[in-house]
Chains A and B, each alone.
Chain A
Amino acid sequence: MQVCDLLSWWSEVQMGPPDPILGVSEAYKRDTNPKKINLGVGAYRDDQGKPYVLSCVRKAEAQIAAKKLDKEYLAIGGLGDFTKACAKLALGDDNEVIKSGRNITVQTISGTGSLRIGANFLSRFHTEARDVYLPKPSWGNHTPIFRDAGMQLKAYTYYDPKTCGFDFQGALNDISKIPEKSVIMLHACAHNPTGVDPRPEQWKEIADLVKKRNLLVFFDMAYQGFASGDIDRDAWAVRYFIEQGHNIVLSQSFAKNMGLYGERVGGFTVVCKDAEEAKRVESQLKILIRPIYSNPPMNGARIAATILNTPDLYKEWLGEVHGMANRIITMRELLVANLKKEGSTRNWKHVIDQIGMFCFTGLKPEQVERLTKEFSVYMTKDGRISMAGVTSGNVGYLAQGIHAVTK
């Protein structure tokens, strides 16, 4: 046997760095401190810190089980009952886009899969511009997804660390300089990681400016319903842009708002000029999907479709989403109250002003490190905490820790 037989093909393969977000959960799991808190990954937890399976989901599952359906392949674009309902949820039942058939909505592997299909589609067909402008900061996975699809990443000002709020003027300034036809990524609601959303009048100005600059709008909506508790309110920006004539592309996820994380339920929509164009775009989306995974998984889409299409389940769902959003809002208020109780003199108003699952605390990396090392509070280095990980049981301890590292 020759020496080269003993070598591996993979000798030169480097150890990849751990994923910053999912890596936090893994470090949390290894920690033996009974007081540990996981404020890393954005998965909802109830007030006992437990995963929450929605009641409407359980009911939908029981209904589906009773139907004794087969397991035949879905079409490449996914379950029709799901994609239609998915589009209606985002755009509104009576939306002119849906009525005229000028949207194509395909089922995707949750939000990530949707963004990836979108990125691949733009990379192949939006050849006038290679640049995608992300808000600064954005979800950590946006950059590698678009880069891997062959796009270039740029940024526009978004978060103001001085106010822990929205840098509206900064955003407008940067957006006004974006070259025509570039892609601009907008978080529809509950911005990840900051929780900072534009107000409606600010959205209007952004929409106006984006139109003037002739930019292609890519909306990422991963938290519809989860932000304010109201489905329509959270989709307001998406619908407004469409009304104003933007033919957007849109990614939706049902991971959080239906608690279907591991079932991988999502949608990707392209709003086209007309139905004929939508058909052409659909055919190309299928060509993109097939060499990745052929066709999408049934289980989660079937659950989501059942909920969206069954009136009393839909009603129950709206109530449960509202409940989850409310618990988050309550935790925000409790955290600030507890920080004040601890004697913190810092301004924590942003904790309440921000919306959705995440809160950009304003903590610096060194403070985060201390919080993790000394208090076993796990979060990402950028100071982002998942409010879903906060409970009435741990909010006091959390406030202690945050105060200790910031006083």
Chain B
Amino acid sequence: IMSLFGEVPQATPVAVFKLSNDFKEDPNPMKVNLGVGAYRTDEGQPWVLPVVKKVEKLIVADNRLNHEYLPILGLPEFRSSASKIALGEDSPAIQESRVGAVQCLGGTGALKMGAEFLRRWYNGNDNMKTPVYVSAPTWENHNSVFANAGFKDVRPYKYWDAEKRGLDLDGFLGDLETAPKHSIFVLHACAHNPTGTDPTHVEWMQVAEVMKRRKLFVFFDSAYQGFASGCLDKDAWAVRNFVTQGFEMFCAQSFSKNFGLYNERVGNLTIVARDADNVRRVLSQMEKIVRVTWSNPPSQGARLVAITLNRAELFAEWKDNVKTMADRVLLMRASLQAKLQALGTPGTWDHITQQIGMFSFTGLNPKQVEYMIKERSIYLMASGRINMCGLTTKNIDYVAKSIHETVVNVQ
């Protein structure tokens, strides 16, 4: 009997997960995983934040809590406190009641909801032709999220300058100037993934000026707030500046990394609009999109974050935990750069400490990456991206020496 699915082709696996799989199967005791973006301790272990453990105990012990459905848009106390984290406690937009939020499944879910809404309601109705610009390079799933939401024209904007290993500001501004009006731009709020290269404040203001003048839509992806510099407010500077500039915008927030809640899928889509009435109508349409996708979001993670953010001592403890993670990353950056310098590895390595957040774009080319994987069992993305969290005081010498050897022997 012929199968209805006889013609379904085997899809290629998502690269970052295949990398983790290959790492798992590698028998080399020296192997290092610098692939997938999750925090690791100096022992190379996942880290459940102490404040998270504490709040989980509170939740389990509280018999008043149950597993009932959340509202479609999510847990109210989560949504409002999450938006406050992004926009600031004293944000004028919040005070003016022109901020709304949708609890979503992780940062991906927030991007998805935003994308679906924009396709239906932005720049006309169901306009699939609005160009969506994502940075070159960007988190690979950005392309899929927007394409899947129906956008037919997802394009790159210049961002990374491979030669100078830094931001291609002129290219970026140039693409903003030539983008069709009303194009959507996905901006990384901080700790750009995968390059770790963020615009400076001055550069952000230049970006904002062009976007305002050319009526481009601001869609921030904020997956690393707090994780980049160790300071929540510092990492939210760009988002808040754009709000001050008067933009209506979306900000997709993830609490996967800064709360270490990866598998609980905790995200928030913050919506800044002209006024409360616009927020109200936008949220009513968001509800319809949510209803045909997941009906209502998962409660555990949102509850955890809401309790933490809304209690002073827990909030303070969380900020401290976040700083612990950010500080370890900064230490590894400094350490790796120092070792490469000491080894006399050809090239400049300042970008290791100039870049920010979990990732570093090493500048290693595909051949060099392949060498690292095959000959050294050091797993990194083909783009040369490494996860700094995969480095520990125990393996950093091995990694530094391997990079050195690779750069010297493989061109």
Residues of A with Cβ closer than 8 Å to B? 4-16, 19, 22, 41, 43, 51, 53, 57, 61-62, 65, 68, 70-76, 109-113, 116, 125-126, 128, 141, 144-145, 148, 181, 216, 245, 247, 255, 259-264, 270, 272-273, 277, 279-281, 283-284, 286-287, 290-300
Contacts and interface: CB of A to CB of B under 8 A. Distances in A.
Contacts of A247: 3-4
Nearest to B248: A9
Contacts of A273: 1, 3, 5-6
Given A216-B4, A264-B294, A299 B14 contact: no
A280 B10 contact: yes
Contact of B46 (A12, A70, A263, A279): A70
B191 to A, nearest CB: 18
Contact of A71 (B4, B72, B108, B262): B262
A300 B68 contact: no
Interface string B241-270: 000001010000000100011111100000
Given A8-B275, A261-B68, A291-B141, 18 more contacts: A4-B215, A5-B246, A9-B122, A9-B217, A10-B282, A15-B280, A16-B285, A70-B45, A71-B48, A112-B291, A116-B294, A262-B296, A273-B1, A277-B5, A293-B106, A293-B265, A297-B105, A298-B263
Nearest to B256: A73
B81 interface: no
16 contacts: A10-B274, A16-B281, A19-B291, A22-B71, A53-B67, A68-B48, A109-B295, A144-B288, A247-B3, A261-B67, A262-B68, A294-B141, A297-B265, A297-B300, A297-B301, A300-B300
A299 B300 contact: yes
B14 A259 contact: no
A270 B69 contact: no
Contacts of A12: 121, 125
B145 A277 contact: no
B273 interface: yes
Contacts, number: 226
Contacts of A295: 106, 263, 265
A76 B14 contact: yes
A15 B93 CA distance: 21
Given A112-B293, A277-B8, A281-B8, A8 B248 contact: yes
B21 to A, nearest CB: 10
Contacts of A13: 121, 278, 281-282, 285
A262 B4 contact: no
A144 B3 contact: no
Contacts of A264: 294, 296-298
B72 to A, nearest CB: 6
A71 B263 contact: yes
B38 interface: yes
Given A13-B285, A291-B141, A280 B9 contact: yes
A-B pairs, top 3 by smallest CB distance, nearest first, are A293-B105, A8-B274, A262-B299
A48 to B, nearest CB: 13
A283 B11 contact: yes
A8 B299 CA distance: 32
B5 A281 contact: yes
B298 A286 contact: no
B206 interface: no
A36 to B, nearest CB: 18
Contact of B291 (A15, A144, A281): A144
B112 interface: yes
B178 interface: no
A16 B274 CA distance: 19
B264 A272 contact: no
Contacts of A111: 295
Given A71-B260, A72-B262, A65 B56 contact: yes
B11 A141 contact: no
A292 B69 contact: no
A41 B144 contact: no
A294 B3 contact: no
B5 A125 contact: yes
B60 A61 contact: yes
Contacts of B264: 71, 297-299
Contacts of A299: 264, 298, 300-301
A277 B3 contact: yes
A196 to B, nearest CB: 24
Contacts of A14: 281, 285
B39 to A, nearest CB: 10
Contacts of A144: 288, 291-292
Q: Which of A10, A53, A263, A281 has the most CB of B within 10 A?
A: A10
Contacts of A216: 4
A369 B324 CA distance: 58
Interface in B1-58: 1, 3-14, 17, 36, 38, 45-48, 52, 56-57
Contacts of B46: 70-72
Contacts of A300: 67, 298, 300
A294 B110 CA distance: 11
Contacts of B13: 283, 286
Nearest to A119: B292
Contacts of B263: 71-74, 295, 297-298
A74 B301 CA distance: 14
A116 B293 contact: yes
B70 interface: yes
B284 interface: yes
B94 interface: no
A263 B304 CA distance: 13
B3 A272 contact: yes
Contacts of B300: 263, 297, 299-300
A284 B8 contact: yes
B11 A290 contact: no
Nearest to B262: A73
Given A292-B112, A293-B108, A262 B262 contact: no
A293 B8 contact: no
A57 B149 CA distance: 36
A43 B38 contact: no
Contacts of A125: 5, 7-8
A8 B3 contact: no
Contacts of B6: 273, 277
A247 B3 CA distance: 8
A248 to B, nearest CB: 11
Contacts of A41: 69
B292 A145 contact: yes
Nearest to B38: A72
Q: Which of B4, B104, B265 has the most CB of A within 10 A?
A: B4
B194 interface: no
Contact of A148 (B67, B281, B292): B292
B48 to A, nearest CB: 6
Contacts of B17: 75-76
B298 A263 contact: yes
Interface in B102-124: 104-106, 108-109, 112, 121-122
Contacts of B287: 16, 19
A116 B12 CA distance: 22
Contacts of A261: 67-69
